[in-house]
Structure 1
Amino acid sequence: MARRKMKVEELAEELEVNPRMIRVYKDDLEKAGIYIESERGANGGYFLNKNSFLSIRNFNETEIQQLQIAIKSFLSKQTDESATLNRALEKIKAAQRDHDLNSRHFYFANDYLINNEVGNASLHYKLLYEAFNKRNSVEIVYMAASTNETTRRIIHPYAFVVYDENLYCTAFCEAKKEMRNFKIMRIQRATILEDSYLIPDGYDIRQEFPNLGFIKDPIQVELLIYPPLANRIKESIHSDDQVIEELDNYVIRFKATLNGQQSIRKWVLGMGTKAEVIQPQSLRDEIKQEVENLIGIYSK
């Protein structure tokens, strides 16, 4: 469910069995009512029909949210555990996708790490999430990014968004009489109030996200990604429309529509020599200029 589609050989390697056994397991699962779909071809493989997949019921919604935040916070300091914990995070996110409430009110715009140890971000997130569950208003003292001035606000939490290494609370602000995004790291103090509020029926952060002001125009990106990072990229879902083409020598061609050129540039630069931008040309030129600037710094 987390990886969307896997080949028989990949499943066999994961479960440490002969590929023949995967087909046996598939038959056994289907007898139990869990139907495994398959697709032929170079990009084919086995995948789960979400409508027939059994829900993971040993996590409640709050536990899933806390595990996601805890893993991302831990990974910001213990990068050597990234392979195992990122895979665990994928499975947790797969469980999350089975919870309609979570899907409509918690949005992962990207998978960058969050440093929740700055200020009281972790504590304030937990408090805001508690208020969201109870539908209680929250009084916050908030520091503006541009002026560092603090203001007192009363907000109604509607949703939470992870975007560009930061966690935000999307909330109705009583003072401004409109929806605003509050970076949780900038909250100086938060107090749950007794006043209650209602979230409109059908509110869905996935539909609202493009209008929240986080991003500008989406960008269609094409990359060549080389091993060993190629395997890691294949294990993650970076965009709903991503296409991965396997080339010779374990290289992959990655195509997807991504959000935020600054975030994309940071992501590509983080892969170093293991990624090459093919399209768009503007992003390729920016990466090239950044590399030339680095050479200039390190040549001194």
Structure 2
Amino acid sequence: MRLHRLLGIVMLLDSRGIMKAGNLAKILESSERTIYRDIDILCESGIPIVSIPGPNGGYSFMENYKVNSNVLQGGDVVTLLLSSMGIRAEKNTEMAQQLKNAVIKLENSVSAEHREEIVKAKERFFIDSDPWWGKKIENEYLDIVKKSVLNFKKLKVHYKKYAGEGSERIIRPYGAVVKNSEWYVIAFCEVKNEIRVFKCSRIEHIEVLNESFIMPENFHLEEFWGKSKQEFVRESSLKLEPNSYLVKIKFHEEKKKFLEGFHVHSMIQVENRFIYDIDMLSFETACNVLFSFSDRLEILEPLELKNYIFTKANKILSLYNFR
């Protein structure tokens, strides 16, 4: 992480000339104290950085010193590609710093006119992926997962399931998917002997193994993810029991407005009486809603609901000594 930040300082000084520590810290998302320490490290390593005093001062290279740091490398291109796909780097990760450096290189490689457009765009557009409420779960192992996917390296992970059960797995990471700002690694699990989906935020420990693996030719990430997503939705719908609580009510007058929001299974009219079969979702909902109308309706079924209304009415009467 520090290496990429040091490279970022070098590229910024090379392209923009004199820069204050505060501006460097803002661009590189660091603190001024960290920038001061990084400048000291660069000077100790032989980079001729000088401090210029005064209101227009800051840090700069010695006169006539230039570095060739503006050529995009393979890693830079991959990072820019991931960003263009909407895969935003998590804060304080190596990928985030690589993206900053790649954008700086891109900025330095274009004309002054286009460079001004890039700088303006960076200043006027911002993506905040943090939730309004609650704390976003940090994925501290994303850099390791990303490198292992690209380098075909096996991983040993300690994984915690949704229910809290933990287990150790050896996995072959075939690819990664980002959905709703959550990272998932699609990998062949050597314990289960099949391809599984692992949520990166549930990885509690990770170790890169020296063993490599070969990607199967018939594996397609997008196709696998689509099928896996459909299966997840199907299984989830089977596990969820729909809320249903059928109530039979007799009204002495039409009460269509009262029934808004509930599903009416049937309605029959007997003389001036209206009998409804209504789904009121749960016993608790039926109790809360119907008691306030208990002087204008009669509950026919179920018996437990009738008993609830009767018992509560008697408690109210006893409070006022009407019994």
Q: Which has the larger radius of gyration?
A: 2
- Structure scoring higher RCO (CA < 8 A, sep ≥ 6) equals 1
Band the TM-score falls in, shorter-chain normalisation = 0.3 to 0.5
